[in-house]
Amino acid sequence: MNLKYLKKLEYNKILEILETFAKTYIGKEKCRSLIPSNNVNYLLEQTNQAVNLIYRNGSLPLGNIPNINISIKNLESNFSLTPADLLEIASILKTSRELKEYLPFDSKNSDLLLEYFNTLYVNKLVEKELFDKILDENTIADNASSKLNSIRKAQKNLGIEIKNKLNSIVHSTTYSKFLQDNIVTIKNERYVIPVKEEYKGQIKGFVHDISSSGSTVFIEPLSVFELNNELNNLRAEEAIEISKILTELSKKLSLITYELKNNIQLIGEIDFIFAKASFSKSINGIRPEINESKYINLISARHPLIDKNKVVPIDISIGKNYSSLIITGPNTGGKTVALKTVGLLLLMAYSGLLIPASEKSSIYIFDEIFADIGDEQSIAESLSTFSAHMLNIVEITKNATENSLILLDELRFWYRSNSRKSSCN
């Protein structure tokens, strides 16, 4: 279909609405780039099956998904992923599992959707391991490994020991008068106490920081120096162990990069199909019959861009007893809307969207839909509105076939002999 005619019939506005029903970045992109197809029966039935699933099982368990393309490339290059990256992949595995569980076991009426759901890769063990070991993008769980658990327990015990020693200093009658506050704090990852500047020589230790006012120095007493060193050594061991855990998890995922990439595409395709279904459901769309006899019979057809509470349904039939139809009437009588309704509903059906009409409506799959609707004036080419219309109509007559549908609005016939103009729609 020529994009120029799609725009004349406001097909682009349908796509804008359709996109709002998609949840994923891939689904939204597919909605934006949707164009009519000749595979109409398949697409309509696919959407119809998705609509029936929504009525049966409720909304699709799908929200926005992260773009993990960079993470997959890193895995393919044998790089370790960050906790945030691993959590994103875990969310993809979770989404894939939930989508697969959404499709019922008795899915004989969903055969056109099976290929997408059944091909989804599910790995509950890896999914569980990722969520169990990574609590958030900054936190690895204690039980991610026995060694990490042991290190953190040692850290906790050592931290308690250091704070007890410092608390004994903080609360002693000998030293408390030297302190700015009776607290234990941390500077440069070492436990320290705040000492008044004028008494800094009264407590032997190392100065790690000075307050902005200069009235307080933060001193690490000698009595906890070795303990702080030991604690920092444990922190270094913790970092090494976390790196090992991330590497091991990344290696497991590097074995399934193909499956992950495939899942992303499948999720996007499922999202796209169900966006069409949700949109179709929102306009009370039906699957029209497809005939081979080159006729249109739209019953109670409604323009999808007009408020459903205000739109006036129309019946239009053409092709059985006559191949041309002229619509006449006063201005603002709905002639242009009628033309656009016919063209737009056909384009929607060709794109796999159910159409807002009554059951038993029937359509034909035209090889092209041509339209001359609206003001065609081109200032850049110095063309009048009339001339632009004529050029468009000439183009249509050159390219139309016996299997094309032509929609002409405000077609005017000029008679030079008496400068008289008559018009009909």
User: What's the pLDDT tens digit per position in 135-144?
Assistant: 999 999 999 9
Which tokens belong to 190?
Answer: 């070492």
Q: Which fold has domain 289-424?
A: Rossmann fold (3.40.50)
As a three-state string, the secondary structure of 115-136 is HHHHHCCCCHHHHHHHHHHEEE
User: CB–CB of 97/124 below 8 Å?
Assistant: yes
Strand, helix or coil at 176? helix
> pLDDT for 241-277, tens place per residue?
999 999 999 999 999 999 999 999 999 999 999 999 9
Question: Which part of the chain is CATH 1.10.1420.10?
Answer: 26-143+244-282, 146-237
Strand, helix or coil at 293? coil
| CATH class as words, domain 26-143+244-282 | mainly alpha
In single-letter form, the type of residue at position 21 comes to F
Mean pLDDT, the chain, integer = 90
Who contacts 43 (Cβ-Cβ below 8 Å, separation ≥6)?
Answer: 37, 350, 351, 352
Distance, CA of 225 to CA of 230 (rounded, Å): 9
The yes-or-no verdict on residue 127 having pLDDT over 60 is: yes
The yes-or-no verdict on residue 374 having pLDDT over 80 is: no
CA nearest to 220, candidates 207, 230, 231, 235: 207
Give the DSSP per-residue string, 58-106. Answer: -S-S-------HHHHHHHHTTPPPPHHHHHHHHHHHHHHHHHHHHS-S-
Q: Does domain 146-237 have CATH number 1.10.10.10?
A: no
Look at residue 380 in the predicted model and tell me its pLDDT.
44
Strand, helix or coil at 220? strand
Comparing 373 with 35, the larger pLDDT belongs to 35
pLDDT grade for 397, boundaries at 50, 70 and 90: confident
Who contacts 127 (Cβ-Cβ below 8 Å, separation ≥6)?
Answer: 90, 93, 94, 97
pLDDT grade for 422, boundaries at 50, 70 and 90: very low
Distance, CA of 357 to CA of 1 (rounded, Å): 23
pLDDT grade for 103, boundaries at 50, 70 and 90: confident
> pLDDT for 184-231, tens place per residue?
999 999 999 999 999 888 889 999 999 989 999 999 999 999 999 999
Look at residue 410 in the predicted model and tell me its pLDDT.
74
The whole-number average pLDDT for the span 27-31 is: 98
Let me know how long the chain is. 425
Distance, CA of 19 to CA of 11 (rounded, Å): 13
What percentage of the chain has pLDDT greater than the value 70? 93
For the question of whether the overall pTM of this predicted structure is more than 0.75, the answer is yes
Question: Which part of the chain is CATH 3.40.50.300?
Answer: 289-424
Look at residue 76 in the predicted model and tell me its pLDDT.
97
pLDDT grade for 384, boundaries at 50, 70 and 90: low
